[in-house]
Structure 1
């Protein structure tokens, strides 16, 4: 059994398509298919069910996949640790961030990191805070930047508070509120809202503030990203709430401060286990001790 065969299995499992998996692994499809078939013969069982329309894991494939991921991660970690022992930081750095991150200039930080550690392969994904925490817990991400309610500390990860802020109202430039110096939640409740999905951390920040004030509002449009929220607001379909450090940079809408504004906190989270050399170097660049960040009473693994 070879590591490359495991990489091919993971790629097919994630892409659910042999052609896309081959493109991702930068090999011809016939070579990828041959290696997976060879591995299946060695294991004495099929890992994938293949039809003309789809590819899916068999029960044996479901059992094999997490162990293959762990083996690949261990091999990557061994390579990185050997390099670090010789003074070379290498390996991968998988990061995640909410689209509305305000507390740090992440592109500038990544540029500086790449200049210092050119042998590290960097990847970045941008989704909601809940998914980012789940990926850090599972090991898919090394660290992530979140936006959550004050007092909320994700479990199963290390974390550090980066900044506190508030939400502001974003309205079309021709909206009656566009010229106001401030507005309150009760006045905003008369508007139709564009907001993030119910149950998400982004939505919870505004929901808790309206609930605490005893005010009901109408959320007509649910979106998964800030860009689409702004597009709907810009076209006059509703108003939205965005972080005060993010909204003023958006073109085509007006940001109006809220007197009783919903509060938010940005947090950095990273894995509870000993960080890889690349992760430790990145956290160090941000001035974060990689072995800190556990809630009171929680023991490291």
Structure 2
């Protein structure tokens, strides 16, 4: 049974003749008659009484009308749903981010997108870089902000935009280094550190920086939330290396680090060169607009 056959059947019901129904369906009468006969053959019942001046449904035809109407209505609803998503009147976009994202005001960006596309639902998830990578690969996320390690972007992902974040040392107010302006990595050898738990993007970047400079940090406390890390530094339990904006927003002393001047790269990634989800494609245009233009974006192998 085909949708087309049901549509032709309902046209005959509505117009009372095969001639009028064919005219309404913009096909020749013989083609419409053949379509209805094939439907009758499939169902094993005659659907119309063709003996009078007006074609009327048989009992079997009357029984088919509500079911055919429901099927055709469902087909139209399906078309409308796809059209709505394609036209971004509805839909859903899933975005992942590292917890310490500071190079983008993601809340403001998503709010601006919502004003443009109020019918699109936004799902936002915070996770570590390894978790975000796997979620994008698995198709659970359309887009994700992550901080890849020194090896660069893993295969199977495409980078749409990159940003550079400066890392600074934050201390408690009154700490001997609070007013230093800048410091050398080697001068931090005796400092206790507060750090993120191993596996997070920031912890990886700081650990790589310390190893590069030969610094063996003494970790007094490790955490999983940036707010708690800031509070512990403020309380004097240790110093920490974080993106500058985190320290400035917290109102803590931010000390620049020399030799080398540290930073990390944040990348907006997806699974394919162009998002298959129309809502994700529209959001990507907005999110990638503020990216750094000083360097080439990282690119992994396609799926």
Pairwise same-fold verdict (TM > 0.5): yes
Q: Which residue of 2 aligns with 1:170?
A: 170
1:160 positional shift: 3.1
1:78-110 Cα distance to aligned partner (Å, 9 max, x none): 98643244x344211111212222222111111
Distance 2:161 2:210 in 1: 24
Partner Cα distance (2:109, 2:128) in 1: 21
* C-alpha contact (below 8 Å) 1:98/1:129 kept by paired residues: yes
The residue number in structure 1 matching 2:217 is: 217
Retained in 2: the 8 A contact 1:81–1:276? Answer: no
Question: Are positions 1:286 and 2:295 aligned together?
Answer: no
Q: Equivalent residue of 1:203, what SS?
A: helix
TM-score, normalised with respect to structure 1: 0.65
Does the 8 Å contact 2:171/2:239 carry over to 1?
A: yes
TM-score in terms of structure 2 length = 0.65
Distance 1:254 1:133 in 2: 33
SS at match of 1:178: coil
1:205-245: CA deviations, max 9, x gaps?
Answer: 11111111222121121111211111111111111110123
Q: Is the 8 A contact 1:170 1:241 kept in 2?
A: yes
Paired residue for 2:74?
Answer: none
1:199 and 1:79 map into 2 onto residues whose CA distance is 45
SS at match of 2:233: helix
Please identify the structure whose Cα radius of gyration is greater: 2
Paired with 2:137 and 2:81, the residues of 1 have a C-alpha distance of 20
Q: Distance in 2 between matches of 1:144 and 1:78?
A: 30
Farther-moved stretch of structure 1 (158-167 vs 203-212): 158-167
Give unpaired runs (5+ residues) of structure 1.
1-76
Aligned residues of 1:173 and 1:254 also touching (Cα < 8 A): yes
Q: Distance in 1 between matches of 2:182 and 2:80?
A: 55
Matched residue, 2:258: 259
Contact 1:164 1:265 in 2 (8 A): yes
Contact kept? 1:183, 1:258, Cα under 8 Å = yes
Could you tell me how far apart the structure 1 residues matched to 2:278 and 2:79 are?
10
Root mean square deviation of aligned Cα: 2.4
Listed as ranges, the matches of 1:1-301 within 5 Å are 81-85=82-86, 87-149=87-149, 152-251=152-251, 253-260=252-259, 261-272=261-272, 274-287=275-288, 295=299, 298=301, 300-301=302-303
Of 176-185 and 193-202, deviating more is: 193-202
Q: Distance in 1 between matches of 2:275 and 2:108?
A: 26
Measured in 2, the distance between the counterparts of 1:147 and 1:126 equals 13
For 1:166-223, what per-residue CA distance to the aligned partner results, in whole angstroms no more than 9, with x for missing partners? 2100100121111111111111121111111223321121111111122212112111
Judge which range, 264-273 or 232-241, deviates more.
264-273
Q: In the alignment, what sits opposite 1:39?
A: none
Distance change (3 Å), C-alpha of 1:124 and 1:171: same
Deviation string 1:108-141 (CA, Å, 9 cap, x unpaired) is 1111100111111112122222222222122222
- The count of residues paired between Structure 1 and Structure 2 equals 217
